Amino acid sequence: MNEINTTFLRLSKRAETKDNSYLVNTFVNVGPLFTILSNRDHEILYGRRGTGKTHAFAYLGNSLKNEGDIVINVDLRTIGSNGGIFSDSSLPITQRATRLLIDTLTYVIDGIIDEVISDQSDKYDLSIISPLADSLWEAITEIIVGGNIEIETDKTSNRTENKEIGTSLNISLKNPSLDLSDKSVKSDNVSKTEKVKRQGVEHHRIHFSSVFKSLQLMSQKLAVHIWILFDEWAEIPQELQPYLSELIRRTILPNTGITVKIAAIEQRTNLSLFDANHTRIGIEEGADISTSQNLDEYMVFDNDEGKSLEFFKELLFHHFNGINDSANIIDSNDLINRAFTQSNTFHEFVRASEGVPRDAINILGIAATKASDSKISMDNIRNAARIWFSRGKEKAISTNENAFNLLQWIRDKVIGERNSRAFLLRTNHKDPLIDYLFDARVIHMIKENVSGKDEPGARYNVYSIDYGCYVDLMNTNNAPKGLFEATEQDSENSIYVDVPRNDYRAIRRAILDLSEFYENVA
């Protein structure tokens, strides 16, 4: 195997498996992503697994630390050590949520203290910060009795009465006398016991106002800006996410000295709920926190071919140099020319990756193995994409029978009947199986709010089917002819669209009616 292909096999598929310096050196900025993330607004960065959220946060955190700020990276997969209490649905949700809040705040406080202790510049006064940390501990660790705690009270009283009754006669020759006295004894013991019994559990109570004030005072005394980066938000059970959001909203978001960034998967995010009194619990997106960018849409080939090609070209070059800087590769163009048989092969590789860096690296590794000591060819890319789809995606969704059947139905309808590789769904149509397929990266959203002139006001999202679903049809008569079928504004002729615009004359042929699938299932 040649040196380039050997290096491709060594590319890291997950950001957390490499040290921070590697992540910094291999980061590729997505348009204005870093500029937006580095402002002090509270924001959410959306993207499915493998789109680069963790990598972006690692690069952001390193840059902020270099500027002298404090950065707390909260990997929510590592929060909690209480035997899976967060996921134990048999426990009351209040108990699970409270434990989550306490563990999260504990992690944040420990992170701040660690930064203060490890600082070598002596700009922090630990004698001032430690008492503030103690006040935070007091605010989050108070235990009170809630519900009906079991209490038993015993009350006993005793009373004793003694009384002598009787008569005696004393006769004496010298002093005769008569002595009357009480000789009998009566004793009463009275005992009374009372028991009061209540049942219930102990639970924690967090004083939001106390936590807010302590955090605010701590940020003021530190005299630097604090950044809290919440990664892997999807690891928190969705029913608990609103409670963690409420903690963040009440204690952190109002603090001018603290900025919060959240990396999340949109289909697995539940930021708020309404209680029985119709009061919102959690974060309101847009009002409390903004969305910076959605990585799912940005790098998809069908959305912007030029932008997607440039990103993946730089991605491969940065990762290659991060592992092998002795191969005398001049720049990204040099690497592509030396690694692939032709430019169209690299284009096909980017299309097969569907905008997901982790999928791209996996496909590239398989293709490099197939190519061995040769340049990577078109056949290598297509075979690798087929293998990766079967091994990394199709096998995973086969455990959900309904989702698997829906994918087969979409494939038959869109590719089989319409010779397309994309379909449209109404923007207001939420379907859990579609979300599941999207999260599994077997369908991809490439455009929002597409409309047709024949249906004023109706808006649709454009979803493409994963490259692995139709790679076997390439170079056959059944291969997709384009993204989807539509009618241009000034023409009555139907065309196959390659890059979706915001509106067309007619898009009826591209709209998918999921009710047909559910009627067949029923």
Quick: pLDDT tens for 252-299.
999 999 999 999 998 889 999 887 778 888 999 888 998 767 787 777
Q: Classify residue 486: in a domain, yes or no.
A: yes
Both tokens of residue 512? 């998918």
Same domain, 322 and 288: no
Sign of CA dihedral 177, 180, 184, 187: negative
Same domain, 434 and 320: no
Write phi, then psi, for 416 (nearest 5 degrees).
-70, -50
Rg value, the chain, Cα: 35
Same domain, 281 and 232: yes
Q: Helices 332-339 and 305-323, interaxial angle, to 10°?
A: 90
Same domain, 411 and 382: no
**Domain edge (last residue) among 248, 271, 296:** 296
Average of per-residue pLDDT values in the chain: 81
SS3 (DSSP) at 393? helix
Same domain, 385 and 264: no
**Domain edge (last residue) among 371, 397, 423:** 397
Whether residue 445 contacts residue 296, with contact meaning beta carbons closer than 8 Å, is answered with yes
Q: What share of the chain is helix, strand, coil (3-state, %, to 5)?
A: 45, 15, 40
Number of domains into which the chain is organized: 3
Residue 10 is given by DSSP the state T
Same domain, 393 and 420: no
Same domain, 460 and 426: yes
Cα 488 to the center of its chain, rounded Å: 40
Same domain, 128 and 248: yes
Residue 303 has pLDDT above 90, yes or no: no
Q: Classify residue 155: in a domain, yes or no.
A: no
**Domain edge (last residue) among 397, 418, 443:** 397
Q: Helices 208-222 and 126-141, interaxial angle, to 10°?
A: 170
Q: Residue 501's closest CA among 519, 522, 487?
A: 487
> Given the structure tokens 């340049």, which residue do they identify?
375
Q: Classify residue 163: in a domain, yes or no.
A: no
pLDDT of residue 24: 77
Whether residue 70 contacts residue 112, with contact meaning beta carbons closer than 8 Å, is answered with yes
Same domain, 243 and 360: no
Q: Residue 463's closest CA among 492, 491, 442?
A: 442
Residue 118 has pLDDT above 90, yes or no: no
Task: Show the domain range for 217.
Answer: 31-142+209-296
SS3 (DSSP) at 202? strand
Pairing of strands 258-264, 43-46: parallel
Same domain, 439 and 506: yes
Q: What is the pTM of this model?
A: 0.78
pLDDT of residue 141: 67
Q: What is the pLDDT of residues 147-190, one digit of tens each?
A: 444 545 455 555 555 555 444 444 444 554 444 444 554 555 55
Q: Classify residue 377: in a domain, yes or no.
A: yes
Q: What is the mean pLDDT of residues 446-456?
A: 77
Same domain, 59 and 112: yes
> Which of 56-74 are b and which e, b meaning 16 or more Cβ less than 10 Å from the residue's Cβ?
bbbbbbebbeeeebbbbbb
Same domain, 226 and 373: no
